[in-house]
């Protein structure tokens, strides 16, 4: 037995060493959830530090609650009111949702043996429906796509939660791009009232209130009529076997639509009334191209110094340009430049970014 004891101790040491080695080579990471933990009741949350407190206040706001209770542990009497004031103010002024939706937050606080209990009263300046309609968007393409969808439906309001918002984010410019990428609903650029919440920060909520130049019910009816007309023209003239669709669009517009520099700037005017400005003819070309699956966008620029609209197309991998006001041809960039066209920015995203209309 005495001889076995050193051997057993040696084995134990070896096993202990292996165990230690295994422990050193194993790493486990758990993301700490700062969200307050409910104490059996979703209206009663627990906070043990300032960040817990902010999370609790934000939780009630995110749920649209008008009242809630927070139990504060590990707090002294001096800290409670200070942190409650700061947390409510942070949510209302610095958090995007709070800055957009909340009017004010009040609280009453009482000491209950081992903790303090704060009862919140939250007043909103937005309806529950408005808060629920907020859409998340990251990047210019996503913002533009949401704007296109809003314009296509003639919606009067769009609220976006934008991640990585920068001062260079130009909502008005993106709205104009979306307008010229939504030909079936382009009956005049809507006026936009744009508000951003809060004033600073990478994450913002952007509220866009849109006022259209005509009654939205009337505009929706005209949009449906225009879409049907575009499909009829495509079926009758453009989708014939062996037809070069892009060239057929150019020929159709040039032959059937009267170019009027003072005419209406809508695809409706071009395809139904058959008289339009270069803006209207370019929007009509976009609608017809999109109907036939041809990648196309509207371009704004000048022709010999005068404002002009035309189209940029992708045909069999080649970028070509069409001004159906001038002729029925498809031209290269060099040919357009030689003819006096000076291109501004293309107003629509690439086809992959565009929402279908």
Per-residue pLDDT of the chain (357 residues; tens, 9 = 90+): 444 334 333 443 333 443 333 333 323 232 334 545 555 667 899 999 999 999 999 999 999 999 999 999 999 988 999 999 999 999 999 999 999 999 999 999 999 989 999 999 999 999 999 999 999 999 999 999 999 999 999 999 999 999 888 877 899 999 999 999 999 999 999 999 999 999 998 899 999 999 999 999 999 999 999 999 999 999 998 887 778 999 999 999 999 999 999 999 999 999 999 999 999 999 999 999 999 999 999 999 999 999 999 999 999 999 999 999 999 999 999 999 999 999 876 554 443 343 333
Two domains, one topology: 129-211 and 216-346: no
Q: What is the pLDDT of residue 39?
A: 52
Contact 288, 304 (CB under 8 A): no
Phi/psi zone of residue 288: left (φ > 0), alpha (ψ -120 to 50 degrees), beta?
Answer: alpha
Across the beta sheet with 306-315, the strand order is 318-322, 306-315, 295-303, 341-346
Rounded to 10 deg, the angle between the 171-179 and 140-152 helix axes is 50
Q: What is the pLDDT of residue 345?
A: 60
- List Cα–Cα distances, 18 to 8, 10, 281, 284, in angstroms: 15, 12, 79, 76
Contact 298, 266 (CB under 8 A): no
Query: What residues contact residue 243 under an 8 Å CB cut-off, 6+ apart?
Result: none
Q: What is the pLDDT of residue 168?
A: 77
What is the C-alpha to C-alpha distance for residues 34 and 215, in angstroms, rounded to an integer?
Answer: 48
* CATH code of the domain occupying 129-211: 3.30.110
Q: Rounded to two decimals, what is the model's pTM?
A: 0.81
What is the C-alpha to C-alpha distance for residues 80 and 71, in angstroms, rounded to an integer?
Answer: 11
Q: What is the pLDDT of residue 238?
A: 86
SS3 of residue 216 by DSSP? helix
Which has the closest alpha carbon to 70: 124, 122, 131? 122
Say whether domain 44-125 belongs to CATH 3.30.930.10: no
- In CATH terms, the fold of domain 216-346 is C8orf32 fold (3.10.620)
Which has the closest alpha carbon to 165: 108, 203, 115, 109? 203
Across the beta sheet with 115-124, the strand order is 44-47, 67-72, 115-124, 102-112
Phi/psi zone of residue 317: left (φ > 0), alpha (ψ -120 to 50 degrees), beta?
Answer: left
List the beta bridge partners of residue 47. 72
Domain range annotation of the chain: 44-125, 129-211, 216-346
The Cβ-side half-sphere exposure at 344, using a 13 Å CA radius, reads 15
Residue with tokens 């080579």: 25
What is the C-alpha to C-alpha distance for residues 81 and 107, in angstroms, rounded to an integer?
Answer: 10
Long-range contacts made by residues 306-311, C-beta under 8 angstroms, separation at least 24?
Answer: 308/278, 308/341, 309/265, 309/277, 309/278, 309/279, 309/281, 309/282, 309/283, 310/278, 310/282, 310/336, 310/341, 311/282, 311/285, 311/286
């Amino acid at each position: 037995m005495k001889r076995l004891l050193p051997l057993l101790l040696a084995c134990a040491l070896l096993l202990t060493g292996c165990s230690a080695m295994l422990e050193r080579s194993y790493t486990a990471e758990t993301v700490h959830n700062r969200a307050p933990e409910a104490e059996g009741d979703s209206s009663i949350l627990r906070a043990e530090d300032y960040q817990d407190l902010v999370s609790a206040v934000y939780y009630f706001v995110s749920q649209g609650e008008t009242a809630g209770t927070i139990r504060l542990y590990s707090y002294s009497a001096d800290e409670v009111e200070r942190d409650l004031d700061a947390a409510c103010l942070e949510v209302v002024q610095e958090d995007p949702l709070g800055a957009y939706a909340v009017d004010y937050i009040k609280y009453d606080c009482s000491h209950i043996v081992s903790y303090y209990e704060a009862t919140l009263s939250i007043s909103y300046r937005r309806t529950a429906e408005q808060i629920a309609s907020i859409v998340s968007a990251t990047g210019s393409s996503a913002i533009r796509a949401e704007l296109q969808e809003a314009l296509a439906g003639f919606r009067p309001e769009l609220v976006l939660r934008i991640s990585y918002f920068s001062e260079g984010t130009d909502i008005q410019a993106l709205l104009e791009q979306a307008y010229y990428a939504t030909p079936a609903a382009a009956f005049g650029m809507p006026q936009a009232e744009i508000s951003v919440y809060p004033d600073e920060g990478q994450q913002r909520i952007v509220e866009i209130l849109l006022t259209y130049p005509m009654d939205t019910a009337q505009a929706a009816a005209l949009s449906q009529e225009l879409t049907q007309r575009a499909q009829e023209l495509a079926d009758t003239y453009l989708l014939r076997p062996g037809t070069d669709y892009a060239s057929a669009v150019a020929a159709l517009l040039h032959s059937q639509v009267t170019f009027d520099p003072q005419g209406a700037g809508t695809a409706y005017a071009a395809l139904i009334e058959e008289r339009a400005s270069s803006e209207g003819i370019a929007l009509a070309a976009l609608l017809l191209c999109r109907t036939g699956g041809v990648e196309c966008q509207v371009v704004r620029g000048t022709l010999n110094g005068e404002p002009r609209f035309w189209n940029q197309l992708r045909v069999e991998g080649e970028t070509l340009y069409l001004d159906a006001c001038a002729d029925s041809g498809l031209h290269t960039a060099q040919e357009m430049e030689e003819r006096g066209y000076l291109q501004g920015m293309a107003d629509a995203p690439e086809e992959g970014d565009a929402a279908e209309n």
